[in-house]
Amino acid sequence: MNLTLAEFIAVVDDEEDIVKLFTDVIQMNGYFVMGFTNPFF
């Protein structure tokens, strides 16, 4: 797979379950996702 910067997504929310849900769904659509519960990390 040839990824570009446009295909990298960051999901940030203070609820870990929400981050996990959105990260999983977005990854299933072929994107590279990093999930965070702390915006300062």
With respect to residue 30, please indicate whether it lies within any of the assigned structural domains: yes
**Residue 5 binned pLDDT confidence (cut-offs 50, 70, 90):** low
| pLDDT of res. 8 | 87
Tokens matching residue 18: 């929400």
With respect to residue 41, please indicate whether it lies within any of the assigned structural domains: no
With respect to residue 32, please indicate whether it lies within any of the assigned structural domains: yes
Asked if pLDDT for residue 1 goes beyond 60, the answer is: no
Asked if pLDDT for residue 40 goes beyond 90, the answer is: no
Dihedral (CA of 17, 20, 21, 22) sign: positive
With respect to residue 31, please indicate whether it lies within any of the assigned structural domains: yes
Tell me if residue 29 falls in helix, strand or coil. coil
| pLDDT of res. 34 | 95
Residue range(s) defining the domain that contains residue 31: 5-36
Over the stretch 17-39, which tens digit does the pLDDT of each residue have?
999 999 999 999 989 999 999 98
Number of H helices, E strands in the chain: 1, 2
With respect to residue 24, please indicate whether it lies within any of the assigned structural domains: yes
* H or E segment to which residue 20 belongs: helix 16-28
Task: Domain count for the chain, please give it.
Answer: 1
| pLDDT of res. 2 | 62
